[in-house]
Structure 1
Amino acid sequence: MITTVLTAFVIILGFIILFSGIFTVKQQTAAAIERFGKFQRISNSGLHFKVPVIDQIAGRINLKVQQLDVLVETKTKDDVFVKLKISVQFQVISTRIYDAFYKLENSHDQITSYVFDVVRAEVPKMKLDDVFERKDDIAIAVKRELNEAMQDYGYDIIKTLVTDIDPDIQVKAAMNRINASEREKVAAEYEAEAERIKIVAKARAEAESKRLQGQGIADQRREIARGLEESVDVLNNVGINSQEASALIVVTQHYDTLQSLGEETQSNLILLPNSPQTGSDMLNNMIASFTASNQIGEAMKKDNALREQKRKKKENQKDNRTRNYPKTEEPGNEEGQDEV
């Protein structure tokens, strides 16, 4: 009975030991096998067998593309503190799994150290605006440095990205104010240009209005003059001379003007003095001036007539004296010219 139990126990123990030597490795993963603490081999994905108790799985290493985000705070050339988030995408080289597993204790810490070193060497050479504009240059510099360093450890740097640039909060507020001021400046320039265009258009419209107004006034005065001329001709045809016709037209226009002023309800114009006698006085003054002008004209005509008579009289006397002297021929005058 005891023998049977021991045999069963041995069989079970053998199965346990046998199954402990069977292991699997997942896809995109590799396992390092050690024998008594010494590296034995690398097992890739699939089903594998190791010597039970003797061989041990030292560790498994991920062959997928991994990403490490590193947040770095540094200072720019214009003394502005800024935080940069660098995303590093890396992968273990399939042919150098041994180096990746045994040469480097912690790949993340190693990559983080190199990222800090490169960023703090590159960013202080740039101003804040240049950091935003040249973030690709920073990413390229990080990738170049990491590739040179991590190749020896069996890691391949696939890509580095500057995913965030975060200046100090006061600097961001100042930058926002600058941006707002720039936009306000542009808006003010556009508003000023629009106002200038409106002023120019208004000035041109006023100039055109004045031109048309002047042309209208000239046409109006021309028509008034033509109307006055026609009125004078009509009055002359009915026996009223030009002076009386002019006086009548002036008085008529005077009263028409007073009537038009009286029709304006909002007018504040006051004419002083103003009475019915004013029109008569104006007419009498005009008639008196016309009469005086006629008298002066008549006197000038008489004076001119007397002067003309005297001139003709002198000419007649001169002609008479010329006839009374005989004509003689001057000696030596071969052409026979007469001389008085």
Structure 2
Amino acid sequence: MESLSFEDMARRRRQGPPSEAWRRYLPFIPWVLGGLVAIFLISDFSYTVEPHEQAVVLRFGAYKATTMPGLHFKIPIVDQVMKVSVEEHGLSLPFSPVGQMGPGRVDSNLLRARQVQTDPDDDETLMLTGDLNTASVEWTVQWRVTEPSNYLFKFPIGADDQAAGELLTYVSRTVMNRLVGDYSFDEMIGPKRGDIAVQARDDSQRILDAYDCGITVTALQMQRVIPPDRVKPSFDRVNASIQLKQKLENEAESTRNKLIPEARANRDKLIREAEGYASRTKAEAQGEIEALLARYHAYQRAPDVTRQRLYIEAMQGLFESVKDKTIIDADLNRALPILNLNEKGGIAK
């Protein structure tokens, strides 16, 4: 038993019982509690939505409104705010759904999926084409949330949107398997490649709209369409032949495009020359006709004079065509002079 001195007992008697010290703080307890409640209400009175988010406001658990990025106000305790990322996500298919990749972020799961893609023995990419061949098909899907309220009520909220990724994977694989079965392998790697991607995006969006899940497929791109490894050597040879054929066709088309303009230019040149010759010949003939008509009319007016003039013109033309000429007087009565062939222009008598 503790022994107390007389001074200790007197000091404890002056201080009174221990409970009397807390009575001095009792008036301040309601104020402290009120301050804490006020701080909570003030902090719950507003909320901020980031640029890549949209917020769904629930009032007493029922949908109230969807708010855009910025500062907003709500009724404390009554309203509940649920934020949804509306940035674009990506899926690499037909592999199992993995974490999405948003702008400026790289998901480790997606990197692991890309490493899986390099495995040549993975049969998950094999699909049956319309001509009963097998092809290894890979594609990517870009999607984003466009109706946050529907998205929240259809999927459980998770850090990686795993449920939405699984739905997109199943829908996209179903659509792609059906479309690949409608086309041959040559069409898959050739002219129908872009059409298949567009149709797959539209069909996937149609199924998602039927689920009313608030997701929009923004893009679907075909990545690789290659034959399986066991037939790849033969396919490479066929592909090399096709490329050689296309090369020869391109060269022939290039030569054709070069020769046809030259032939057309030569044709136009010959046509212009022929037209010029025809015009010139026609003009000359017309001029000769007019000259003959002029002579005819002149002959009708003065036959003797015209006949003499025509004779003189004819003789003039004849003499001009002869280089060396010897003229003998028609009135010469003596013997015919002998032409000296040894002397040019000389006359022997």
Higher RCO (C-alpha under 8 Å, 6+ residues apart): 2
Scaled to the shorter chain, the TM-score interval is: 0.3 to 0.5
Which of 1 and 2 has greater Rg? Answer: 1
TM-score between the two structures when normalised by the length of structure 2: 0.46
TM-score between the two structures when normalised by the length of structure 1: 0.47
Greater helix share, structure number: 1
